[in-house]
């Protein structure tokens, strides 16, 4: 039978199969890069990779929290695109970058709230709810923008969020690092974090233990919405433009892969934020390596799909749980 483990883990334990496999995969990828494209390891490039990892990692943090509670949020990238588009339109019209950034956050929170309300109150299936919001929201952002990208945003906005204050390390990386530390600590040691794991492991038992399940579920989706809003700001600043295309289907796959590779269980109740960040790192480096070695984009999709299946297949907890 599946043995469920609640964080914190014992200090000394044999690493799980998943961790061994992901570490081996990471080392193999790095060696391959070292042989085929040593330029990869230049400082400037590493910073750029970190930037990509942070943007993916930010969404993965949101997804991790939702997955721990036992749901899934497919609408994250669509949500990001919607926030980015709305905020960018406002900024372009008024030039007020601070309110524009707030609009991005608010859009993310609002869509997260809709997801959370549908799952927690209307008792709908998370996968289906977020699939529907993904369709509606991305449809809406394509409609609003007519598929065009919105550029020429205020310089202050871009200068502020795309700055590189510390040894050339961008604000994005710093924000994500601080946030990841904070969320990891909260999930591990706060009451709310424990509630999240408890609901994910067994919602009936959690109900018996008088945990406010509805609020925990709602909060997880609102949190992931917040992450989407933050991503919208940082990604828009980095690209210098916003478009509905920011949330294409491939991004969902990357987020889910990052979480799954990082040991977050799709059945809920286990997984940690640092793991998801490691997953994001591995996925990003894998994509970069394939790109550098000259594997076509389409072929890299196949590889990514195979990696996810492999990682879920070696996940200890099986479908029999239903």
Partner 1 sequence: MTARGKTSDFPLQHGFFVVFAIIFIFFSLATQHFFQLDNILNIFSAMDPLAITASGLALVVMSGRLDISVGSTAFLSCAIGALLMNQGELNPVLAAIIVVCCGALLGAVNGFIVVVLKVNSLIATLSTMIAYRGMALALTDALLVQLPPPIRFLGNTRLGPIPLDIFVMLVVLVLVHLLQTKTAFGRQIMAMGNDIAVARKVGLPVDRIGFFSFVLAGALASVGGILTTIQNGAVSPFLGSGLEFTALAVVVVGGISLLGGRGAILFSIIPGAFIFEMIRDGLTNLGADPYSYRLIGGAVIFAAMYADALKSGRYSMRRRL
How distant, in Å, are the alpha carbons of 10, 72, 227, 265 from that of 123?
A: 36, 14, 23, 22
Task: Select the residue interacting with partner 1 from 154, 212, 240, 250 (CB under 8 A).
Answer: 250
Residue 65 lies near partner 1 (rule: CB under 8 A): no
**Which segment (46-54, 79-87, 125-133, 279-287) binds partner 1 by CB under 8 A?**
125-133
**Which segment (23-31, 124-132, 271-279, 285-293) binds partner 1 by CB under 8 A?**
124-132
Residue 35 lies near partner 1 (rule: CB under 8 A): no
**Which segment (4-12, 37-45, 96-104, 294-302) binds partner 1 by CB under 8 A?**
294-302
**Selection from 168, 216, 171 nearest residue 194 by Cα:** 216
Residue 208 lies near partner 1 (rule: CB under 8 A): no
Task: Select the residue interacting with partner 1 from 147, 152, 156, 291 (CB under 8 A).
Answer: 147
Q: Applying CB under 8 A, what is the total number of residues that bind partner 1?
A: 57
Site for partner 1 in 162-191 (CB under 8 A): none
Q: 213 or 237: whose CB is closer to partner 1?
A: 213
DSSP string, 227-282: HHHHHHHHHHHHHTSB-GGGG-HHHHHHHHHHHHHTT--TTSS---HHHHHHHHHH
Cross-strand partners of 166: 169
Residue 212 lies near partner 1 (rule: CB under 8 A): no
Task: Select the residue interacting with partner 1 from 89, 113, 124, 186 (CB under 8 A).
Answer: 124
**Which segment (12-20, 169-177, 253-261, 275-283) binds partner 1 by CB under 8 A?**
253-261
d(CA 17, CA 13): 12
For the CB of residue 143, give the shortest distance to partner 1 in the complex, in Å: 4
d(CA 241, CA 85): 9
d(CA 23, CA 15): 10
Radius of gyration of the chain, Cα coordinates, nearest whole angstrom: 19
Give the contact letters, 257-286, x = binds to partner 1 (CB under 8 A), - = no.
---x-----xxx------------------
DSSP string, 48-104: HHHHHHHHHHHHHHHHHHHHHHT---TTHHHHHHHHHHHHHHHHHHH--HHHHHHHH
């Amino acid at each position: 039978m599946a043995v469920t483990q609640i964080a914190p883990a014992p200090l000394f334990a044999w690493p799980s199969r998943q961790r061994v496999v992901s570490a081996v995969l990471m080392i193999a990828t790095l060696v391959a890069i070292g042989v085929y494209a040593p330029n990869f390891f230049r400082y400037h490039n590493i910073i750029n990779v970190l930037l990509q990892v942070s943007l993916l990692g930010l969404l993965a943090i949101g997804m991790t929290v939702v997955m721990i509670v036992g749901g899934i949020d497919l609408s994250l990238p669509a949500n990001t695109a919607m926030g980015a588009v709305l905020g960018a339109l406002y900024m372009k019209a008024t030039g007020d970058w601070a309110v524009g950034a707030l609009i991005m956050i608010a859009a993310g929170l609002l869509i997260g709230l809709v997801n959370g309300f549908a799952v927690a109150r209307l008792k709908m299936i998370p996968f289906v709810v977020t699939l529907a919001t993904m369709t509606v929201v991305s449809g809406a952002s394509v409609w609003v923008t007519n598929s065009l990208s919105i550029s020429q945003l205020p310089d202050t906005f871009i200068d502020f969020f795309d700055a590189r204050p510390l040894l050339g390390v961008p604000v994005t990386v710093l924000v994500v690092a601080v946030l990841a530390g904070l969320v990891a600590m909260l999930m591990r040691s706060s009451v709310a974090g424990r509630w999240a794991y408890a609901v994910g492991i067994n919602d009936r038992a959690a109900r018996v233990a008088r945990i406010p399940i509805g609020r925990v579920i709602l909060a997880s989706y609102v949190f992931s919405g917040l992450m989407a809003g933050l991503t919208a700001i940082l990604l828009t600043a980095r690209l210098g433009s916003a478009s509905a295309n920011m949330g294409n289907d491939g991004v969902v796959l990357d987020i889910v892969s990052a979480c799954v590779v990082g040991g977050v269980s799709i059945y809920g109740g286990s997984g940690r934020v640092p793991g998801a960040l490691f997953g994001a790192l591995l996925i990003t480096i894998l994509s970069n390596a394939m790109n550098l070695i000259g594997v076509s984009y389409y072929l890299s999709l196949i590889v990514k799909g195979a990696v996810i299946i492999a990682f879920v297949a070696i996940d200890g907890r099986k479908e029999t749980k239903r």
